[in-house]
Amino acid sequence: MGERLSRSGIAVRDYYESKPGSDAVEPPGQYPYTRGRRATVPEAAGWIQRELSGEADPERSNAQIKYLISNHQLGIDVIGDAATMGMLDPDHPLAAGAVGTQGVSLCCKDDYLTLFRELPLAELSISSSVPSLFALTGLYIAARAMGVAPAHLRGSVLQAPLYAEDCGYAMHMPVELRVRISADVMQFCAGEMPKFHSFVEDTYFFCESGLNAVEEMALGFVEIRYLARELLRRGVPIDGFAPRIALLVDCSMDFFEEIAKVRAARRLFARMMREDFGAQDPRSWSVVISAHTSGLALTAQQPSNNIVRGTLQAMAMVLGGVQALEISAFDEAYRTPSRASHLVALRTQQIIELESGAGRVVDPLGGSHYVEALTDELEGRITAMIRDVEARGSALELAGQGWFRKFFRNAMERYHQQLSRDELRMVGVNVHRVPAEEDTLLREAVEGKLSPCVERVDRIRAFKAERDGARVRDALRAVLAAAQRPEDNLVPPVIAATEADCTMGEIAGTLRQAYHWPYDPHGFLPALVEG
Amino acid sequence: MSKVRILIGILGLDQHEVGAIAVARMLRDAGMEVIYAGCFQTPEKLTRSTIQEDVDVLGISCHSWEYLHYLPELMTRLKAEGADAAVVVGGSVLTAGDAHALQELGVAATFGPGSTPPEMIATIRELGARRASRLAETLA
């Protein structure tokens, strides 16, 4: 028999023993936090149980959030539709077929107020996968309108300035602007929203290109390191922002490697903050980790098997010790999650919490010879890859040259080859297939899908026609002027512009304009103010 | 026998290119001439390219549901412009119900998540050969 390899290519032995001369790993709650951020089990559920939600218009997405909360979801995570994720308005000519089908359509002040209507913003953790500048703006405006001080808000926004353009939803902005937006959001929150995680390093979305655990974490750390240096360059002390950094990791099907990845990531983060950046505050060392189970691992064939996949992955993340968790719903290989699949995912988390006892102690696998060996091995490999990437040049330049894009493309290709050559086994895809006519279980759930929300396009058109055009243009001019001054923070003028009824698409276009990029990346719309 | 020419594109804001790129490469490796149009296509743009490139087959890759919105317009435009390329639609999100609806619109073939590479290559080759023989008849 040949070598047995983990997903990231670590050759494993038949069994593991304690390393000669090695001491036990430090207890949880102590540097370098391999075993966990804290040494005590929390009284409530040990992690925020949430599902990614958002569909159709803000009205329906608000109802969807209330439905999930009524089923004891413990936090919110909202994703936008394709237009929103790419910072285009629903009335953009390319958006019509996709309005509200893959997430919620958001573009103006009223949308944010509707999305969060009647939700206990001060008590819930509010996370968003919508582009960070607008996610923050929307939450900030809604909180103020609802009488909640932004300083009390908990939750997070995702940042992936180096990679956002390369996989998933392109924003069509230069990397310099993307980095600035991330840093501006972080700096704004450091002052105004001290409880909010203004920088969630989202390794999930690019990992879904088919990256392995080592590549995922190495590229994640490269980005964190780049942004940390940028904030330091701006004069923000490391302990002023490091505690507000969190990770959102992908969870693939390699059970023990994923557990080890979470543990290795905590240790790597602690060492990086203390040794490389000189952080003194222990809160800067112990990173919050959230996880999302892999959508790439889901199969269109025999969709009921996806429930099992989600359960195993979620179990790995609970054993690894994450602070928040989302399970990709079983019908996601075909559609945006249905009510039924959302509930199954949420119930899976609740069963793990309340019935399995997996979260009864902190780091239940700590001291397992195998898990500790994998943790050490991953730490070493991730460190080596971070060094290798950083030795190639500045991450900003690498992004500009398309180095990361090429990396993601190659990973995609490798993944598909692994599948087609049966090096990676997927039940129902390349092994244990069943004829299509026998593959009927849960079939009706995956056939249903959301139609584009066409009436919303008309509503936004009407809104744009009725608002005070002069006020909109003034506010956009202020955004343009701020964007042209590198020392300005973009968040306050963007909040002001949104208050003045400017839309996400208009503000994003104006920002592109300031950086001499086309206002409308697709060439349909003219700019609203002169650059 | 002349090479089958196929244009591959993705409609609207669907940015999941993985499948399209993998299929483009697979068809090229199978000896076809592949013109990769990429993302952000509209029915109008694809109709124009189909005619200008004189392709035998127009392949739409989909990983969102925008094809349901755009396909009726695309089929109407192709017909109005006299383009005789066969239209095929493939993607991981395609269900049996979708396949049926697309065939009603005049789509020549659909490839869902269970489709195998040999099946796709054979179908596209056959569609290309049919157009070539139609063309030969017209010219004869």
Each residue's pLDDT tens digit, A453-471: 999 999 999 999 999 999 9
Helices A339-351 & A305-320 angle (0-180, nearest 10): 40
Contact between A449 and B70 using a beta-carbon 8 Å cutoff = no
Instruction: Name the residue facing B95 among A169, A170, A446 (closest C-beta).
Output: A446
CB contacts under 8 A, A 498-527 vs B, are 522
Residue A531 has a pLDDT of: 81
What is the rounded CA–CA span in Å between residue A129 and residue A137? 13
Report chain A residues whose CB lies below 8 A from the CB of B113: 299-301, 333
In this structure, which amino acid lies at residue B27?
L
Average pLDDT value for residue range A178-204: 96
Return all residues near A241 (Cβ < 8 A) that are at least 6 apart.
Answer: A186, A187, A190, A198, A199, A228, A231
Checking if the pLDDT of B64 tops 90, the result is: no
- The confidence score (pLDDT) of residue A20 equals 65
Q: Do A436 and B96 touch (CB under 8 A)?
A: yes
Would you state the pLDDT for residue A260? Answer: 98
Q: With bands split at pLDDT 50, 70 and 90, how would you rate the model's confidence at A1?
A: low
Kindly list the residues from chain B whose CB atom is less than 8 angstroms away from the CB atom of residue A102. Answer: 64
Q: What's the average model confidence in pLDDT over A325-338?
A: 94
pLDDT at A34: 97
Nearest chain A alpha carbon to B16: A168
Cβ separation A334–B95 shorter than 8 A: yes
In DSSP notation, A243-265 reads GGEEEEEEE-S-HHHHHHHHHHH
The count of CB pairs under 8 A between chains A and B is: 80
- Judged by CB atoms closer than 8 Å, whether chains meet at B15 and A412 is answered as no
DSSP string, A387-417: HHHHHTS-HHHHHHTTHHHHHHHHHHHHHHH
Question: Does A149 touch chain B if contact means CB atoms closer than 8 Å?
Answer: no
Confidence grade of residue A21 (pLDDT, cut at 50, 70, 90): low
Q: Report phi then psi at A324, rounded to 5.
A: -155, 150
Q: Classify the phi-psi angles of A503: left when phi > 0, otherwise alpha if psi is within -120 to 50, otherwise beta.
A: beta
| Least confident interval from A19-28, A180-189, A230-239, A294-303 | A19-28
User: Please, which pLDDT band fits residue B51 given cuts at 50, 70 and 90?
Assistant: very high
Interchain proximity A98–B14, CB inside 8 Å: yes
Lowest mean pLDDT among A77-86, A394-403, B127-136: B127-136
pLDDT for A401-412, tens place per residue?
999 999 999 998
Q: Which long-range contacts (CB under 8 A, 24 or more apart) does B32-35 make?
A: B32/B3, B32/B4, B32/B5, B32/B6, B32/B124, B32/B125, B32/B128, B33/B3, B33/B4, B33/B5, B33/B6, B34/B6, B34/B8, B35/B5, B35/B6, B35/B7, B35/B8
User: Using the beta-carbon criterion (under 8 Å), do B22 and A447 form an inter-chain contact?
Assistant: no
Across the interface, of B12, B93, B114, the residue whose CB is closest to A98 is B12
Residue A450 near chain B (CB below 8 Å)? yes
> Which residue do the tokens 């953790």 mark?
A125
Q: Which domain covers residue B30, as residue numbers?
A: 5-139
CB contact under 8 A, A334 and B40: no
Q: Does A98 contact B112 at a Cβ distance shorter than 8 Å?
A: no
CB contact under 8 A, B69 and A96: yes
Q: Is the pLDDT score of A266 beyond 70? A: yes
Return the CATH number at B29. Answer: 3.40.50.280
Beta bridge mates, A158: A200
Residues of chain A with C-beta less than 8 angstroms from the C-beta of B25? 413
Say whether B117 and A420 touch across the interface (CB within 8 A).
yes
Q: Which of B18, B21, B40 sits opposite A94 (nearest CB)?
A: B40
User: Token pair of A68, please?
Assistant: 């999930």
CB contact under 8 A, B21 and A412: yes
Give A74's pLDDT tier (boundaries 50, 70, 90). very high
Contacts of A328 in chain B (CB under 8 A): none
A96 vs B112: CB contact, 8 Å cut-off? no
Q: What does the alpha-carbon distance between residue A104 and residue A81 come to, in Å, rounded to a whole number?
A: 5
With CB atoms and an 8 Å threshold, state whether B65 touches A96: no
* A88 lies within 8 A of chain B by CB: yes
Q: Contacts of residue A83 in chain B, CB cutoff 8 Å?
A: 13
> Is the predicted pLDDT of residue B132 greater than 70, yes or no?
yes
A436/B42 touch (CB, cutoff 8 Å), yes or no: no
Number of domains in chain B: 1
Band (pLDDT 50/70/90 cuts) for residue A349 is: very high
Q: Would the CB atoms of A416 and B18 count as touching at under 8 Å?
A: yes
Disruptive mutation site among A335, A426, A449 for chain B (greatest number of B CBs within 10 Å): A449
- Sheet containing B86-90: order of strands: B33-41, B5-11, B57-61, B86-90, B109-111
**Facing B13 at nearest CB: one of A95, A301, A450:** A95
**Nearest chain A residue to B116, by CA:** A420
Q: Calculate how close chain A gets to B93, using CA atoms only, in Å.
A: 4
CB-nearest to A98 from B64, B95, B117 is: B64
Give A-chain residues touching B70 at CB under 8 angstroms: 97
What is chain A's mean pLDDT, rounded? 95
Tokens of A305: 């098997």
**Which strands form A245-251's sheet, in the order they lie side by side?**
A48-49, A324-326, A288-293, A245-251, A196-202, A154-159, A125-128, A75-78, A52-53
The beta-carbon neighbor of B64 closest among A102, A170, A333 is A102
pLDDT of the residue at A518: 97
Chain B residues in contact with A408 by the CB 8 A cut-off are none
Whether B119 and B108 have beta carbons less than 8 Å apart is answered as no
Residue A426 C-alpha, separation from nearest chain B C-alpha, in angstroms: 13
Q: What is the CATH number of domain A48-420?
A: 3.20.20.240
**Min Cα separation A203/chain B (Å):** 17
Domain ranges of chain A: 48-420, 471-531
Task: Report how far Cα A509 is from the mean position of its chain's Cα atoms.
Answer: 23
Q: Is the pLDDT of residue A23 over 70?
A: no
